[in-house]
Amino acid sequence: MSSIKMNIQHVYNWLPEEDILRQGPTATACNQALYDGSREGSDFLGWVKLPSTITEDQFKEIEDAAVSLRSACKVVVVVGIGGSYLGARAIIDALNNSFDWLQTKRERPVIVYAGNSLSEDYLYELIKYLEDKDFGIINISKSGTTTEPAVAFRLLKDLLEEKVGKSEARNRIIAITDAEKGALRTLATIEKYKTFVIPDDIGGRYSVLTPVGLLPIAVAGFDIRKLVHGAATMEKNTGANVAFEYNLSAIYAVIRNELYKKGKKIEILVNYHPKLHYFAEWWKQLFGESEGKDNKGIFPAAVDFTTDLHSMGQWIQEGERTIFETVISIKEPNYKVVIPHDNQNLDGLNYLEGKRVDEVNKMAELGTRIAHVDGGVPNILIEIPKLDEESLGQLIYFFEKACGISGYLLGVNPFNQPGVEAYKRNMFALLEKPGYEEETRAIKQKLSDLYKG
């Protein structure tokens, strides 16, 4: 199997190679801490050795559940928010036909998503879409009380039970939740839903290689064994005993932090394939939630090129020089499309006659990288062999390991997220949720003070 590659030549103008190598011992110590649990967040390190420890029985249980849902459902709704759905969607969107939902002759269900917003219009339209569909639900929530997925599941559960009855609905609902506690675990026990466990030692944004991600991916018809095999390969290649100069995740983590010290506060993840849009969304959560704390952290942004070159390209080329780019490049596309000859040549494109579209895309990629570097933007290139399960598995683990190391280099706990509770407290207070009476009084006073006069 080919491995992902990383080219860092275009960071040397800002960060000499010797400066990167000088940080090797520190990065190696941070990597070691992910194995010995000697630093903050040690109770959330279950993902580190996960790819190499998934058993045949675990694979089979997930695959059997996926077959069961596929046989009964034309549509499967994945209910979850943040890490509970982003990893699965990243892989499914990357591997799916771009027009999957329009296919009429199907061997696998359409995968749709709910519980990732509080949009009433979205939920109404989803319910209307599902009214005449044979559908099932994968409900993913550690607690079962997170507002967005809990609201969506309540609505979808009622719809499903109304359509097929409670008994059949039980066969079409799978809960992925805590092993012992929480509202969803209690409901699953009462209703006798098929369940999978979210491990206590793996946080949501690192959970794509648990049933949280693997079950939806398997339902969508993709090979979870190849995905995990790719991740296991990268696990081996970034292990605690791998020398720094060969450890791509450690090198990437060092470069990010050293550029940050030099005033590069924003990292833009760039792709040249629209199927990677949701991979970038997963990446943004991984790094944003892991590093954005204690008034520190690189701001993670993403663009889809060449599309966004016609909207964001000007700012990236000539805006404030506080950015650097990480480009994901796909070495070989899955299909071949050749540009034809046109007798009139009104568009002036006959000079591209006979060339593959991917060759044009690659030249756009190379030309843009050169232009941005010339414009003052450091550039890291990550090349994956193909857009397939094994390459994506490698890429997932590469970024997970890099994020853990990078967080420790930054001096933060990369496995907690205390800041996300602030908006929830305010929302609950404004909705006058029982138990939040003191917060309700306080926020009403703030609003009163704000709007006085």
Q: Are 131 and 111 in contact (CB under 8 A)?
A: no
Q: Is 289 a catalytic residue?
A: yes
- CA-CA distance, 178 to 167, in Å (whole number)? 23
Q: Is 424 a catalytic residue?
A: yes
Choose, from 281, 289, 389, 390, the residue flagged as catalytic. 289
Task: Give CA 342 to chain center in angstroms.
Answer: 42
- CA-CA distance, 128 to 119, in Å (whole number)? 14
Choose, from 5, 49, 181, 424, the residue flagged as catalytic. 424
Q: If we measure between CA atoms, which residue out of 215, 226, 266 comes closest to residue 79? A: 215
Three-class SS state of 1: coil
C-alpha R_g of the chain: 23
Q: Is 310 a catalytic residue?
A: yes
Q: Which residues contact 377 (CB under 8 A, 6 or more apart)?
A: 316, 317, 321, 323, 324, 325
Tell the residue number behind the tokens 């933007």, with chain if given.
Answer: 377
Choose, from 105, 128, 261, 310, the residue flagged as catalytic. 310
**Is 377 exposed, middle or buried (CB count within 10 Å of its CB: 0-12, 13-18, 19+)?**
buried
Q: Which residues contact 274 (CB under 8 A, 6 or more apart)?
A: 98, 304, 307
The number of C-alpha atoms within 13 Å of 383 and in the hemisphere containing its C-beta is 13
- CA-CA distance, 83 to 266, in Å (whole number)? 22
Q: If we measure between CA atoms, which residue out of 271, 221, 225, 215 comes closest to residue 97? A: 221
Q: If we measure between CA atoms, which residue out of 107, 66, 112, 74 comes closest to residue 92? A: 112
Residues with catalytic roles? 289, 310, 424
